[in-house]
Amino acid sequence: MSDHNGQNLTAREMVRAHAYPVLAAISTLSLVAMALLQIPQAVKAHRYNRCIDTQIQLQAVQHCDGR
């Protein structure tokens, strides 16, 4: 196998040369997926907090279910 510099690399050297970019891409995709999966819970918590804030302003007792 030849590298871009014209060097012949062994299989082990090829793995070492390409492991970092592959692992970086996987970790980036993983972080993006985790961030996207947290959006629905963040929206629910925001709506619940808004309901609680309204209750406190009105001094009312009401049920907030986060919708």
pLDDT at 3 over 50: no
Q: Tell me the per-residue pLDDT of 14-59, one tens digit each, with 9 for 90 and over.
A: 888 889 999 999 999 999 999 999 999 999 999 999 998 988 888 8
Where do the structural domains in the chain lie, given as residue ranges?
11-58
Residue with tokens 């629910």: 44
pLDDT at 9 over 70: yes
Q: Are 17 and 7 in contact (CB under 8 A)?
A: no
| 48-58 exposure pattern, b = at least 16 Cβ within 10 A, e = fewer | eeebeeeeeee
Q: What is the pLDDT of residue 1?
A: 47
Q: How far apart are CA 33 and CA 30, in angstroms?
A: 5
Question: Token pair for residue 44?
Answer: 């629910």
Question: Token pair for residue 11?
Answer: 């299989």
Q: What is the pLDDT of residue 43?
A: 95
